Every structure is written in C-alpha cells, then in structure tokens.
A and B are shown apart, each in its own frame.
Chain A
Amino acid sequence: MSIDTETAARVAKLARIRVEDDALPALAQEFSNILGFIEQLNEVDVEGVEPMVSVTPMRLKRRQDGVTDGNMQEKILSNAPDAREGFFAVPKVVE
C-alpha cells in the first residue's frame, strides 16, 4: 500500500503536527516504507490462530471502587500556561 502526499498531509493534520508542504513527499514515502515492511506479515498463514494481544502472562489488573486520589487542584494546574479560578483557561473554543 502506498501513501500519497495528500494522505500524509491529512494524517499530519489529524495528529496536529505541522508538516511543511515540501516535506510531505518524503513523509509519504516513509509511511509507504513502514506499511510495506509490515505488509510482509500478510505472508504468514494465521488461519485459526488466536491473536496474541500481550507477551506478558498477566490478566488485566483491577482496582476496588474507592476514592484514593485527587484533591490537588494546585498541582493539576501547575503546568497550565493559564489557569483562573481553579479552571484551565484556554483560547475560546466555540462550537
């Protein structure tokens, strides 16, 4: 599967990563190379093989329903470029 520059631009936009127009062909080529590499896996016959989702012999760890965290507004907001009255303040988002 080959990725064209238009798709590369779209993926960049969805990921909110700015890519200058003249860098797009190279990026698209890189995507194509990665996909081509992965496509080799299609050659392996996995008919009837259950997908392996993890290499650790573990079950999903669970937690009891108890309040054990939170109550640290100051810390939560400490990295915010702007915070007011306990809220993160961000440039206006209008629907």
Chain B
Amino acid sequence: MTEKKESKKVLPGELVATAEEYMPGFGTFEDDGNIYSTAIGSLYLDEGNKIARLDFKNPPLVAFDEDVVFCEVTDVKPSMVVCRIQAMEGTSRGITGETMGTLHVSKISNRYVEDASEKFRITDIIRAEVIQSRPSIQLTTAKPHLGVIMARCNSCREPLDRKGNKLYCESCERTEYRKLAKDYRDVKPC
C-alpha cells in the first residue's frame, strides 16, 4: 500500500481532497464533492486505496482489545464480576463511551476459580485487560500484573496489607484472599 503524507497538518473543516480523487476515511467527511477534515491532525492520503484519512492529535479515548484499564468492582456474582472502568493505563484522558466491564469467572485466573467472590469484592480497585470491546466490554485478569491493586478490609474498611499471596488487616487481624496484581498497593504512575 502506497501512502503519501501531506506536508501540512489540518484543522477541523479544512478541505483535504476532492471526492473525485479520494474516498473519505477515518477523520474526514464528504460534503458537496469535497472531502474535509473533522479534527486537528495529520492528513494521510492513501494512494493505493484512494482514501484520505486523518491521524488525530488528541483523539477521544475508546477502549479496544488488549488495552489495560483500571476499574472499580461494583458487583460480584458467583459467575462474574461487574466493574466500572475508571481509567486507561498510560493515558490521562477519561474513557469515552461504555464504562461498564464484566469479568467472567473463567477469565479471573489461570487456575480454577469456583466462585468469583473468592477473588474479588465490591470496591476493590483492579487492573484488567480488555479482551472484547464490542458489543460490551469483557475483561481478564489472568496475567501476573493484572488483578487487585487496592483492597479494603471487608469488616473495618481499612486498606489491606499484602502478606505473601494473602491480604491481612492490621486493625481487625483478619486475612482475606484476592487475585492480586504483582504490584499490589505499589502502582507506579505512568
């Protein structure tokens, strides 16, 4: 595929090509025989497929497969965990569109998990990977760096400390179990 890059960047509503020469691609639209840009970005004219497209400068953030996201657990059922996606790793912009994600019990860990509530509790903050973005967001935590990054005691709501593969509450001396990320309570800002 031959791709020619235009020498200039474009602003919204700028004429980038004519409909006789190119088809409108991502970030462009056709109006009255002309093709215009929809946002600020770099213009690419695909000579092979005859498509004019735009590379956005500051694109709205939509979750796609293999994206790593941070979520808060909002509901736990035996077969699945429902969570609200709060942020995406490596970006500061908020998520666009669907923010509810589900984590099936079979995708929690590489080991057999009988009940999802053994590994997650409501209000846990987790790091998960998107495995399906459409029609609904499906997540997995079956990797070492994925899982709970912050959890609170079920009884007193104090933050739990890690002790090996378990979590321990200093104030009420209880032990709890989760699918922990490698960097539990030690997440470095990107």
Partners in one complex: no
Residues on A lying within 8 angstroms of B by beta carbon are none
B residues lining the A interface (CB < 8 Å): none
